[in-house]
Structure 1
């Protein structure tokens, strides 16, 4: 094979692997955001449970659209 073809194959393989590896990260971020929202909601309902809104974005990020 030519050097350019080999380089192209390696680049495509790297992009494919990167796509596979980063997909769970997107899911993990969504799960962590959901968990954060649940814990802050719990903290607002019961002050001895849950978390405070330490990110300061609960009202804009976690509230269900009405």
Structure 2
């Protein structure tokens, strides 16, 4: 099986100088050859609003792997 393991990483903090975000970005160089790490920035995700649930933002729809 030649499929790479796909890892999605995101830091819970939105602060630009977040230690977790810095660690995540430095982790890219440590990912094994049989894997890929995609970093997803949460600052583009709006807070949940049930009134707009059926008309999701494009970035939110992109999280669904279907």
Under a length normalisation based on structure 2, what TM-score does the superposition of the two structures give? 0.23
More helix by share: 1
TM-score normalised according to structure 1 size: 0.23
Specify which structure has the higher proportion of strand: 2
Larger Rg computed on CA atoms: 1
- Relative contact order higher in (CA < 8 Å, ≥ 6 apart): 2
